[in-house]
């Protein structure tokens, strides 16, 4: 964490506090959303992988244990610019997706705000930290660009719990994961995880049709 700027430290702290808020208060404040999405199980998991990604990188990148691994800055320069722009673009795209690629998530009407916050600070953030920033950072010296499909495979396996009975969806998740891995490797020196975070966030809220829910 020593290499992070003060702005990035604040950003990480804000996101982590938001995750902690959902972990402690989510079930009571958004009961319909929590029950529909089974967040009683998933929220602790996402909180743990977020902590593990940053903690693991701090350990592995410190010269202890397995030696120093150059994970770099997970947030990049002006990450909110990337997240906001790319997210907005893919919301527009997601609302007009090909129906065959649409994954119905049954978000209860009226829960647009927690859906957006969960996708921004929990789902897309936690998954990009673990499967792109941490895993690709761990494997890049050994595999170079081959780290992208390996991280995509791990990401697809992670989704088996939710979509294991939908092989086309798992295959599609793997394909998107390869693209996210390539995008991360292409942009990591400038934007850190910002570009893939924005892509992932925008895709998710487009997929669930957040704008349609918000203005129902």
pLDDT score recorded for residue 60: 80
Residue 169 · residue 163 · CB < 8 Å: yes
Predicted confidence at residue 117, as pLDDT, reads 84
Token pair in block for residue 29: 């404040």
Closest CA to 130 of 55, 205, 185: 55
Pairwise CA distance, residues 26 & 33, whole Å: 9
pLDDT at position 105 = 55
Q: Could you give the CA distance from residue 166 to residue 170 in angstroms, rounded to a whole number?
A: 6
Q: What are the structural domain ranges in the chain? A: 6-214
pLDDT above 90: residue 43:
yes
pLDDT at residue 106 in the model: 59
Q: With pLDDT > 90 as the criterion, what percentage of the chain qualifies?
A: 35
DSSP 130: I
Q: Between residues 6 and 3, which one has the greater pLDDT?
A: 6
User: Tell me, what's the pLDDT at 65?
Assistant: 46
Q: The pTM is what?
A: 0.84
The larger pLDDT score, comparing residue 42 to residue 78, is at: 42
In Å, how far are 20, 88, 128, 207 from 93, measured between CA atoms?
Answer: 31, 9, 21, 9
% of the chain beyond a pLDDT of 70: 78
The answer on pLDDT for 39 being more than 60 is yes
pLDDT in the model for residue 2: 45
Are 1 and 21 in contact by the 8 Å Cβ rule? The answer is no
């Amino acid at each position: 964490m020593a290499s992070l700027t003060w702005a990035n430290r604040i950003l990480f702290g804000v996101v982590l506090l938001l995750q902690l808020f959902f972990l402690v208060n989510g079930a009571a404040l958004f009961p319909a959303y929590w029950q529909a999405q089974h967040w009683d199980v998933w929220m602790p998991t996402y909180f743990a992988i977020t902590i593990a990604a940053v903690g693991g990188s701090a350990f592995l990148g410190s010269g202890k244990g397995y030696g120093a691994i150059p994970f770099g800055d997970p947030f990049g320069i002006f990450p909110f610019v990337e997240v906001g722009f790319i997210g907005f673009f893919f919301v527009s795209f997601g609302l007009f997706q090909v129906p065959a690629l649409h994954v119905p998530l049954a978000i209860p009407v009226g829960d647009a705000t927690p859906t957006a916050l969960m996708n921004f600070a929990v789902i897309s953030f936690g998954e990009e930290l673990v499967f792109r920033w941490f895993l690709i950072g761990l494997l890049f010296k050994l595999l170079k660009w081959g780290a992208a499909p390996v991280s995509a495979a791990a990401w697809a396996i992670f989704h088996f719990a939710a979509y294991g009975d939908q092989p086309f969806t798992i295959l599609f998740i793997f394909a998107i994961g390869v693209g996210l891995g390539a995008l991360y490797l292409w942009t990591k020196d400038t934007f850190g995880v910002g570009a893939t975070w924005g892509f992932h966030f925008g895709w998710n809220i487009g997929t669930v049709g957040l704008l349609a829910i918000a203005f129902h």
